[in-house]
Structure 1
Amino acid sequence: MNTPTRFDFHPPQYAKRAARDRRLRVLRNAGALVVVVLLLTGAWVGAAWWLSGCSAGMWRGVDDECVGVSDGSASLHHGLRDVEEKIERENDRIAGLDRKVVTVAVLTPVPEPGGDRGSVSLDQARSKIIGAYLAQRQANSVEGAYPLFRLVVADEGSDEQDWEEVVDELIGMTDDERPLVAVTGMGVSVGETISAAHRLADHQIPMVGAVLTADGLNMTGAVRPEDGPIRGLYRVSPSNRTEALALHEFLVKRPREYMLVRDQNFNDFYTTGLRDDFAEVFSAELAAGVQRSFDGTPGINGTTNQFNEIVAELCSPGTPDTVLYAGRASLLDAFVEKLRVEHCGKTITVVTGSDAAKLNETELPGHVEVVYAALADPKALGDARFNEYAEDYKVNFDGFRQLERIGSRDLANGWAIMEFDAMTAVVDAAQKALLNETEIGPAEVRTALVSLTSERNDIDGAGDRFHFDADTGDPVGRTIHIIHQVGLESRPVHKYTS
């Protein structure tokens, strides 16, 4: 979900294309003799991926990134290798058992190795994949588990730019011996995700989004109404509007003056939705109309200068001390850095949405505090004051995580927990589908997901229990925790149930 955290010089596109063409010419020339030998010896198998420079089964996408679908055997990023090896071992283990096996994909952007741009950070991509793996392992570890679940990771490019080819690859897997029955993850709340969801829906493949919070990014398709509904799209994350309501319920206890700082990247439905929801939910507090904008569109320069102007105004006499920040957390780092340098002579409170969970390792300056709505905060989930299922979380999820030798750091941003819940919903549906069927595919799992729309069939998530709304596919019964961060310390301060 993240936009760049650095603001170094980036070469123009024509320079990037020229450099890429030079690399490809060298690769082709170096590989020409090898190709001839391969053809002469009949050993062509594997030559295509070798020449591309990508792992087996992957290919070069539109921006020269390696993309594709991996069962753990391919390396998507060196920072994911330990997790990929765990997935590969589990997939190999169940392949040797004489039981029904089905495939579930986690569709996600993965940052380009060595790159500094992308819609998610490496930590976020890693956490999401870990969550899927933990759910796979837990489902397969139950005695007599049926079916068994094979996991694949579908890397659609750092900015989801290769979603179309990757989704088509997933569609082709529905007729495999171990058929693809559902897709989880589903990227982040951007236009490419919406297009991918429509393509999968057209082929009757059910989806459960992990961190999709944009308003209307569900079965209604209201996020982009001109494209129509997205049948079979569920999500385990509450919407932006629910986040805004939770924040307002906590903040209304103390009178404040607010400035709305909003991103104008119209392809990012997380930021545009948060902007509109803040404006509506905090309308009384924003009566003075103090609003400022910046353009956080990836590849657009000048964001730093825009933040300079906003911070200079914020530090002027008689201006608000609380900022409603409707933007990505990656750019929030830069905004906070400007506040660090400027030092307004007053404490500034920055209020924002769930993407800010990635700030957990950022030390805030002493005069800046952040209040945000968290989708799944480990501290809150393990605290009985904020979660009635705290003991279940500590034993069933956190304990299992430790057995699998997954570090607590990988839970900090909440993405592993959210993806675990998305995968668990698919597991529940697939198991229900097989109660009355001998063979299942996407259609049967999609039908079974409908049964998870009543409280009687609540899903036992990592930290709470929930079900889906039958009309929208949104979660019902989930708790949002409000987190207050000062310096490096963050703590839960409020809970709100959707």
Structure 2
Amino acid sequence: MDNPFRYRVFYTVRQKVVTSAVVLALLAWGTLTAVRHLTTPEDRSCAPGVARPAGSDECVGVATAGDGYDFGQARLTAVTAAIGRENAALREGHYATVALLLPLTSTSPGLREKVAHELQGAFVQQYRANRQNNESPKIRVVLANTGKDNVHWRTAVEQLKGMTGAPHRLRAVSGIATSSAAVRSAVGELTGAGIAVVGTTITADDIANGPGGLRFPGLARVSPTNGDEARALAHFGRVDAAKALLVHDTRTGDHYTETLRAAFSDLLARSPYEPQLFTSAEDPNAEGTTANTFRQITHLVCDTRADTVYFAGRHTQLRQFINALGARGCKDRSFTVLTGDEASYLGADPQLDRSALDAGLTVRYAALAHPDAWRARPGYRPPATGGSAAAYGEFTRLLAEVSAAPAGPIGPVSLADGQAIIAYDGMATAVRAVREATPVGGRVPPLADVPRQWPQVKGSLKVAGASGWICLDNYGNPYDKAVPVVQLTRTTPRFVAMAWPEGRPPAADCLPPRRP
């Protein structure tokens, strides 16, 4: 028997009209929602000035608010919050902005640590500058993210170029941490727009100015070039070229490896051995197949009479090479590997076979800074010139102060890789230029006058950095900058000795000589 209730409720004329109206309303709502979804752009913003580019989940650009945004990186949260608190205390119109341009969302474990330490060091100097004898202008810091492998450098740079007016009054950019083609382009764009740039850890010889011309007008550097590092290592080691060989990367477009290879090649002009070659992946942080290549190269190294190997390559490949040498067949022979500052990444690399360092293998590198380089202790007295224990002591005192409330915390601190130290000095150099360019009675210097300060940063006007004296030549390059030679160990990298590009520390006047 049919259900009478069903018949009455669902088959009446009234119910048919109501049902039709509901269905039409639902269809209209669905259509409107679909159209709105298709025609309304997706909100890809992360924070003021920061967004996710199409096809990417990275938040890139400039955090223009300067309020402590951490780009979604938990390891940066404490130090970015400290920077945000410092910025919030500044009076509107009484500050100049310095941007830190870095790959803040890098996926490389070593680079992530480096970036965190650089932010810490830069903040220590911002904190110091804003309490220094009531000098002006005060310094506001903003963070600019170029993304993994600096792929999105142009996004950040274009924003920075538009921040020279109010309210930001951008007057300098520091950071500039890797010697890559992307960074070279970024430096060219910024300096071409008249913005002063201070490179912290760029060491490539071709991201620099020189007698051949000002390719990057307004660029200053606080680290020695690869050429200077190589000369410092040569003076330190007195290596017999007849018993040395070169292992180098053949990948093109990497200014760090190319200029380091050229510098080492000059040192080994009398070596009887042709270089051993490898080619890293397009992404130098990728493992690729180079581990297999190094296993073969190790056999060839054992076939020579060499006892010293110069290595020109990035840290991932250096680690693979060290691991291969640790498993070499000729363990009855000892070898020393000499390389550039990229080795500083390996101190915290979990994939490094540390037992290799106990098997007759010594790995030493030219560091940019080290916590023991200027610290007097039994058996070691720092050089009388080229830097000072007092300047380094001022840095560590301030670091301890900002590591706790109210200025801090700033996150776990490690000085072993030297990154916090060199970033502190990079910011100090930027602050010096900003303040020296400020007219008497003025609040903020003219943009064009800031990069004009570099030729005067020398002699009694040098920057007494925590990494050593920064005495710039007329091209913005540090003259005879201290180069700590550091040795990898099973635990913390160990300071060995100080080396100098000129073979000895600079004179007390720290005035670069006239160059041809």
Is the TM-score greater than 0.5?
yes
Q: What is the SS of the residue equivalent to 1:356?
A: helix
Aligned position for 2:103? 109
Aligned position for 1:449? 454
Residues 174 and 441 of structure 1 are in contact (CA less than 8 Å); yes or no, is this contact kept in structure 2? Answer: no
More displaced stretch, 275-284 vs 343-352:
343-352
Asked if 1:487 corresponds to 2:490, the answer is: yes
Looking at structure 2, the residues matched to 495 and 63 of structure 1 have their Cα atoms a distance apart, in angstroms, of 47
Aligned position for 1:73? 68
Aligned position for 1:190? 180
Q: CA deviation at 1:308?
A: 2.0
Asked if 1:375 corresponds to 2:394, the answer is: no
Looking at structure 1, the residues matched to 276 and 325 of structure 2 have their Cα atoms a distance apart, in angstroms, of 17
Aligned position for 2:279? 294
Q: CA deviation at 1:189?
A: 0.8
1:361 alignment partner, one of 312, 337, 348 = 348
CA RMSD of aligned residues (A): 2.8
Q: What is the SS of the residue equivalent to 2:162?
A: helix
Residues 61 and 157 of structure 1 are in contact (CA less than 8 Å); yes or no, is this contact kept in structure 2? Answer: no
Looking at structure 2, the residues matched to 479 and 56 of structure 1 have their Cα atoms a distance apart, in angstroms, of 40
> Which whole-Å deviations, capped at 9, do the CAs of 1:311-337 have from their partners, x for residues lacking one?
232234x44232211011222122222
Looking at structure 2, the residues matched to 413 and 434 of structure 1 have their Cα atoms a distance apart, in angstroms, of 34
Q: 1:395 to 1:408 in 2, by over 3 A?
A: farther
Structure 1 segment 423-438 matched on structure 2, within 5 A: 423-436=427-440, 438=442
The structure with the larger Rg is 2
Identity, % of aligned pairs? 28
Looking at structure 2, the residues matched to 128 and 232 of structure 1 have their Cα atoms a distance apart, in angstroms, of 22
Structure 1 segment 349-428 matched on structure 2, within 5 A: 349-361=336-348, 363-365=354-356, 366-367=358-359, 368-383=361-376, 385-388=381-384, 389-405=387-403, 409-428=413-432
Residues 99 and 146 of structure 1 are in contact (CA less than 8 Å); yes or no, is this contact kept in structure 2? Answer: no
> Which whole-Å deviations, capped at 9, do the CAs of 1:62-121 have from their partners, x for residues lacking one?
661221112243222121111111111111111xx3761110001111234xx458xx61
Q: 1:251 to 1:34 in 2, by over 3 A?
A: farther
Residues 244 and 277 of structure 1 are in contact (CA less than 8 Å); yes or no, is this contact kept in structure 2? Answer: yes
Q: Which ranges of structure 2 fall in alignment gaps of 5 or more residues?
A: 1-31, 404-409, 502-516
TM-score norm. by structure 2 comes to 0.79
Q: What is the SS of the residue equivalent to 1:378?
A: coil
Looking at structure 1, the residues matched to 451 and 493 of structure 2 have their Cα atoms a distance apart, in angstroms, of 39
Residues 190 and 269 of structure 1 are in contact (CA less than 8 Å); yes or no, is this contact kept in structure 2? Answer: yes
Asked if 1:282 corresponds to 2:280, the answer is: no
Aligned position for 2:505? none
What letter corresponds to residue 494 of structure 2 in structure 1? R
Residues 222 and 477 of structure 2 are in contact (CA less than 8 Å); yes or no, is this contact kept in structure 1? Answer: yes
Q: What is the SS of the residue equivalent to 1:153?
A: strand
Looking at structure 2, the residues matched to 281 and 436 of structure 1 have their Cα atoms a distance apart, in angstroms, of 49
Looking at structure 1, the residues matched to 122 and 320 of structure 2 have their Cα atoms a distance apart, in angstroms, of 31
Q: What is the SS of the residue equivalent to 1:382?
A: coil
Q: CA deviation at 1:140?
A: 0.5
Residues 204 and 259 of structure 2 are in contact (CA less than 8 Å); yes or no, is this contact kept in structure 1? Answer: yes
Paired residue total: 444
> Which whole-Å deviations, capped at 9, do the CAs of 1:29-54 have from their partners, x for residues lacking one?
xxx979969x9xxxx9xx96xx3273
What letter corresponds to residue 447 of structure 1 in structure 2? R
Q: CA deviation at 1:456?
A: 2.7
What letter corresponds to residue 297 of structure 1 in structure 2? E
Looking at structure 2, the residues matched to 386 and 72 of structure 1 have their Cα atoms a distance apart, in angstroms, of 40
Looking at structure 2, the residues matched to 445 and 217 of structure 1 have their Cα atoms a distance apart, in angstroms, of 20
Asked if 1:88 corresponds to 2:84, the answer is: yes
2:129 alignment partner, one of 112, 123, 139 = 139
Q: CA deviation at 1:303?
A: 1.6
Q: 1:336 to 1:175 in 2, by over 3 A?
A: same
What letter corresponds to residue 289 of structure 1 in structure 2? E
Asked if 1:306 corresponds to 2:293, the answer is: yes
Q: What is the SS of the residue equivalent to 2:205?
A: coil
Asked if 1:321 corresponds to 2:319, the answer is: no
1:272 alignment partner, one of 233, 258, 261 = 258
1:173 alignment partner, one of 160, 163, 166 = 163
